[in-house]
């Protein structure tokens, strides 16, 4: 019996790479990458309506300031809260009404999905007229609907850049 265990372990280990290598690429990953690109494109194009279509109605939106940024904001607005809620409609209106160039850059994008739900996590920088206004980390909770992938929840940190 002792000699059978090492043989079974060797067999299991040797089969694992074959299985992983033969796995088909997940089309959901590409669809989610397209959603990320649509989000960035809508911001640059000031397409508020297009932005709104990327969200699932009724979802959640939370933003939190880092401690140093919160102190800066409290100095001007003593009643300011560190964690606040928002919604995609207000952001979509902001995008659609922006009169100056705006853009959000994404780095270190990570995507996880089982094909039905998903998550995107990335580092972002928000730019106005080409200059950073804030940066941080952002995560989206996603759901695949008959109309494609939608953002059902958004959470992001805000580190104010020196412009403020």
Residues ≥6 apart with Cβ < 8 Å to 96: 46, 47, 48, 49, 51
Q: Which of 139, 148, 105 is CA-nearest to residue 120?
A: 139
13 inside domain: no
> What CATH number corresponds to the domain at position 99?
3.10.450.50
* Domains contained in the chain, number: 1
7 inside domain: no
pLDDT for 137-161, tens place per residue? 999 999 999 999 999 999 999 999 9
Q: Tell me the whole-structure pTM to 2 decimals.
A: 0.82
Any idea which residue has 């939106």 for tokens?
61
Contact 164, 71 (CB under 8 A): no
Range of the structural domain that residue 153 is part of:
25-160
116 inside domain: yes
133 inside domain: yes
pLDDT for 45-82, tens place per residue? 999 999 999 999 999 999 999 999 999 999 999 999 99
């Amino acid at each position: 019996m002792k000699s059978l265990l090492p043989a079974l372990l060797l067999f299991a280990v040797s089969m694992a790479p074959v299985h992983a290598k033969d796995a088909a690429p997940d089309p959901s990953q590409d669809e989610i990458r397209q959603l990320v690109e649509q989000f960035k494109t809508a911001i640059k194009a000031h397409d508020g309506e297009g932005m709104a279509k990327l969200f699932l109605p009724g979802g959640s939106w939370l933003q939190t300031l880092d401690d140093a940024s919160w102190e800066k904001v409290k100095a001007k607005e003593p009643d300011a809260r560190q964690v606040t809620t928002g919604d995609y409609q207000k952001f979509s209106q902001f995008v659609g009404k922006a009169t100056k160039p705006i853009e959000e850059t994404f780095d270190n994008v990570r995507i996880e999905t089982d094909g039905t739900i998903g998550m995107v996590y990335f580092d972002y920088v928000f730019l106005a007229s080409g200059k950073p206004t804030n940066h941080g980390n952002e995560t989206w909770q996603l759901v695949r609907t008959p109309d494609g992938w939608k953002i059902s929840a958004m959470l992001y940190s805000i580190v104010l850049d020196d412009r403020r």
